[in-house]
Amino acid sequence: MKIRLDQLLVDKGFFPSREKAKAAVMAGTVKVGGVLIDKAGTKIDEHVQLTVKEATMPYVSRGGLKLEKAIRQLGFSVEGKIVLDVGASTGGFTDC
């Protein structure tokens, strides 16, 4: 039977929640059968070998991982530039 990767990681005790599992998958720390998978919703055979490389989160939240991926894929450099992130997210706030 196939199951979502994030759910399988929780079921096998690698992570306490799907959100934590999803963050690890997005961070590139999970291999399925020796292959790096970066989509938490990927359907995986429940008997496949899972490898989780321990990693510390380099950012405050997963939003940092998303920004890093976008910058890398778009191929532009932010080095030496001043940037402003004016977005608000769950738990965040805006004033006015």
In a domain, 66, yes or no: no
Question: What is the CB neighbour count within 10 angstroms for residue 46?
Answer: 13
Q: What is the pLDDT of residue 95?
A: 54
Predicted confidence (pLDDT) per residue in 11-46, tens digit:
999 998 999 899 899 989 999 999 999 999 999 999
Report d(CA 71, CA 10) in Å as an integer: 30
Total domain count for the chain? 1
Mean pLDDT of the chain: 86
Q: For the chain, count helices (H), then strands (E).
A: 3, 5
What share of the chain has pLDDT > 90, as a percent?
53
Helix residue ranges, H only, the chain: 5-11, 18-26, 62-74
Residue 79, domain member (yes or no): no
- The four Cα atoms 49, 4, 9, 55 give a dihedral, to 10 degrees, of 90
Q: What is the pLDDT of residues 51-89, one digit of tens each?
A: 999 766 667 677 777 888 889 899 988 899 998 877 666
Contacts of 51 (CB under 8 A, 6+ apart): 30, 31, 32, 34
**Is 93 part of any domain?**
no
Flag whether 15 is in a domain.
Answer: yes
Reported pTM: 0.59
Domain encompassing residue 37: 2-56
